[in-house]
Amino acid sequence: MKNPSLSRHLPSLLLVLAACAPLAAQAAPSGPRTFAPELASRVDQLRANVQAQGLAFQVGVNPAMQYDRQRLCGFKAELMPPEYLAHEPGGFENYEYAQVQATLPASYVGVFSSVKDQGQCGSCWAFSTIGSLEGATLKQQGAPNGRVAADGGIITSGSLPVLSEEQVLSCNPWGWGCNGGYFAFDMLMPAKAGPKGYYRGAVPATAFPYVAEAEACSIGRTTSCTPVVKWGYVAGSGSVPSVAAIKSAILTHGGVSACVYADDYFQAYTGGVFSDTQYYNSINHAILLVGWDDAKGAWLLKNSWGPRWGVDGFMWIKYGTCNVGLGACWVTE
């Protein structure tokens, strides 16, 4: 037998349930992110090798492992423009030799912006370029130094400005793209603006959002810019500066762009102090060095593989490991 009261109120009840359904869907937790099973097998082998060698870092599945490492690591030293030699110490665009400070603290964390994610594009060179400019701008604005939290997490100096990697990726004058590039500071110097591909500075990310692929260059003439006033190598473009020289540059500028060789262990890094599993005589990836800790014997490295890689997007890496620091260069805003 039908309940006349229920029948009378059923349409209203259905409307209420329909209205609540989207809210319930929004409130549902997204749950842990899942990865392809073969990634776990790869990590198991890497972990076994790390443990067998008694190394002091950990590996695990992370979002960066979804992408081919050769695709992610797009820094190509052979693409260095010849005119960049003028930015080496003593060159006419870097005529003041960096002074190595006599007294350096045992540990230090510099000034740097939030970690970003380059996605599947080999644009690490663009992220290192923009990351250095963002850090220099934060330092010039008097932003606080970053710091290491009690739980080991890394706290950045601030999130503003947020500048456009897409501009560097899509508008550079050298034709670099997702298949590789080099530090692109020259294109952001007002003194060189005018020719195609050279600008008064970096535009805000909101003016040209990052999409992990090169697009048609589209920047309004009136868009505000954050300029690279000056930049230079800490030592030669093809050498690793001394530990003291890199420390002095970080103290002065907040951080430095630099290169490293990123291998499978680097890609799978989740914590600890990263060190060599074998010797490499090349580099393939652009990053930033933003601090150090002599107790660890390590640099604090800022990557561009998102905050779910490493330690909040950062890595502690032993001095001298995987050619870290090669081509280190500073920026002023």
- Whether the per-residue pLDDT at 17 is higher than 70: the answer is no
Residue 130 lies in a domain: yes
Amino acid at site 321: T
The continuous run of DSSP H or E covering 301 comes out as strand 298-302
CATH of the domain at 180: 3.90.70.10
According to the model, what pLDDT value does residue 96 have?
Answer: 60
Amino acid at site 123: S
Chain-wide mean pLDDT for the chain?
89
Residue 137 lies in a domain: yes
Q: Is 318 helix (H, G, I), strand (E, B) or coil?
A: strand
**Tally of domains within the chain:** 1
Average pLDDT over residues 27-56: 80
Residue 155 lies in a domain: yes
> Which residues are tagged catalytic?
124, 285, 303
Q: Write out the two tokens for 38.
A: 């073969």
pLDDT in tens, 113-156: 999 999 999 999 999 999 999 999 999 999 999 999 999 999 99
Q: What is the largest CA-CA distance in the chain?
A: 97
Residue 18 lies in a domain: no
According to the model, what pLDDT value does residue 35 have?
Answer: 80
pLDDT in tens, 296-331: 999 999 999 999 999 999 999 999 999 999 999 999
- Whether the per-residue pLDDT at 12 is higher than 70: the answer is no
Separation of alpha carbons 158 and 115, rounded Å: 10
Confidence of residue 98 (pLDDT cuts 50, 70, 90): low
Separation of alpha carbons 288 and 241, rounded Å: 14
Residue 28 lies in a domain: no
Separation of alpha carbons 278 and 318, rounded Å: 13
- Residue span of the structural domain in which 321 resides: 33-332
pLDDT in tens, 277-299: 888 999 999 999 999 999 999 99
Separation of alpha carbons 176 and 81, rounded Å: 11
Report which of residues 99 and 58 the model is more confident about: 58
Residue 100 lies in a domain: yes
Closest CA to 225 of 195, 196, 202, 193: 202
- Whether the per-residue pLDDT at 7 is higher than 70: the answer is no
According to the model, what pLDDT value does residue 20 have?
Answer: 35
Residue 166 lies in a domain: yes
Separation of alpha carbons 184 and 199, rounded Å: 11
According to the model, what pLDDT value does residue 19 have?
Answer: 36
Residue-by-residue DSSP string for 195-248: STT--SSBPBTTTS---SS-------TT---B---EEEESS-TTSPPPHHHHHH
Average pLDDT over residues 216-227: 88
Lowest average pLDDT, out of 160-169, 204-213, 219-228, goes to 219-228
Residue 5 lies in a domain: no
Contact 226, 201 (CB under 8 A): yes
